[in-house]
Amino acid sequence: MQLQEILYTQGFGTRRVCAGLIQQGHVQVYQGSELVQVDDAAAEFVAEGLTFRAQGQDWPYAAKAYLMLYKPAGTECSQKPSTYPSIYTLLPSPLRLRPQKAAVQGVQAVGRLDQDTTGMLLLTDDGQFIHRMSSPKHHVPKVYEVTVKHPVTDPQIQKLLAGVVLDDDPKPVRAAACEATGETSLRLTLTEGKYHQVKRMVAAVSNRVEALHRSQIGSLVLPPDMAPGQWRWLSAQDLAGLRG
C-alpha cells in the first residue's frame, strides 16, 4: 500500500494532506528498531504490522481501531455534548478523523456512560463489533462498582438478583451477579444495557446511587495503572477474550 494511503486510512487527513506531510519530511517509518525518513508519498509498504511516525507521533497501523478509554467524571459520550466536554476530545485527532467504514465515521463508543459515571468504555470503527458488544442477545457482562447512599442489606441484594421491575418494562430486570463490597457499596454485574439501568435498579430496592464506576466488560478488566482520561489500543488477546 502506498504510504500516503496508509496515512489516509489512519486519519491523518485527506490523501493530498497525507502526501504533503510525507513530501515535507514529517513522516518516518520504523524498519525494525530503526526509524527511516520517507519523502516519496507513493512508496509502497506492507501496512499490516507497520509503525510510522507522523509529525513526531508514533502510530501503529490498524485496519480497524479498537480502544479502551478510562472515562472520567464530567464528560459526555456524545460527539455534540450539551453541557460537559465530549469523551472524544480525549482522543488524538487521527482516531476522530479516520475515514468512514460503512456507517461508522471515526471511532465510536460502544454504548454510553452517564456524565457522572466513570470507568471503562470501548471505542471502535468496526460496526459489527459495536453490534456484537451492544446486542442484548450476546449477554456481554458489564461489572459496576456502586456507591450507595444507605447501607446495603441482604434483602436488597436478593431483590436485585431475583429481578426488579422498572417503570418502562413490566418484565423484571435481574442482576447477573451482585455482592456487597462495603457498608455502602456493592458490585453489580449486568448483561443488558437499559437507560440509567444501575441507578433505576438500585432505586427500585429503596436505595440511591451516589457514585458509579464500570470496572469490567466481558473478560476485560480496567487496568489499575490507567488513569481517568487515558486510552490505549486493545491487544489481539483483549479482542479474543471479548469475542469469546
pLDDT digits (tens, 9 = 90+) for 64-91: 999 999 999 999 999 888 899 999 999 9
Sign of CA dihedral 120, 165, 137, 110: negative
pLDDT tens per residue across span 150-205: 999 999 999 999 999 988 778 899 999 999 999 999 999 999 878 889 999 999 99
Higher pLDDT: 101 or 100? It is: 100
Alpha helices (runs of H) in 10-126, residue ranges in sequence order:
15-23, 93-96
CB atoms under 10 Å from CB of 232, counted, come to 12
**178 and 194 assigned to the same domain:** yes
Q: What mean pLDDT, rounded, does the chain reach? A: 93
Looking at residue 244, what is its pLDDT? 67
Per-residue confidence band for 137, with pLDDT thresholds at 50, 70 and 90: confident
**160 and 208 assigned to the same domain:** yes
The residue from 58, 114, 225, 238 that is catalytic is 114
pLDDT tens per residue across span 7-41: 999 999 999 999 999 999 999 999 999 999 999 99
Q: What is the pTM of this model?
A: 0.92
Whether 113 has a pLDDT exceeding 90, the answer reads yes
CATH code of the domain containing 105: 3.30.70.580
Which pairs from 37-42 meet CB under 8 Å and 24+ separation?
38/3, 40/3, 41/2, 41/3, 41/4, 42/2, 42/3, 42/4
40 vs 2, 20, 54, CA distance in Å? 9, 10, 14
Least confident of 4-8, 65-69, 108-112: 108-112
CA nearest to 192, candidates 242, 156, 151, 138? 138
Whether 53 has a pLDDT exceeding 80, the answer reads yes
Whether 103 has a pLDDT exceeding 70, the answer reads no
Q: Is 114 considered catalytic here?
A: yes
* 34 falls within a domain: yes
CATH code of the domain containing 194: 3.30.70.1560
Looking at residue 81, what is its pLDDT? 87
* 45 falls within a domain: yes
Structurally, the chain folds into a number of domains equal to 3
Per-residue confidence band for 134, with pLDDT thresholds at 50, 70 and 90: confident
**Beta pairing class for 142-148 and 220-221:** unpaired
* 135 falls within a domain: no
Per-residue confidence band for 102, with pLDDT thresholds at 50, 70 and 90: low
Looking at residue 135, what is its pLDDT? 79
C-alpha cell of residue 80: 455534540
CATH code of the domain containing 53: 3.10.290
For residues 55 and 231, what is the distance between their CA atoms, to the nearest angstrom?
Answer: 20
Q: Which of 39, 60, 81 is the last residue of a domain?
A: 60
Quote the percentage of the chain above a pLDDT of 70.
Answer: 98
Looking at residue 192, what is its pLDDT? 84
Whether 104 has a pLDDT exceeding 70, the answer reads no
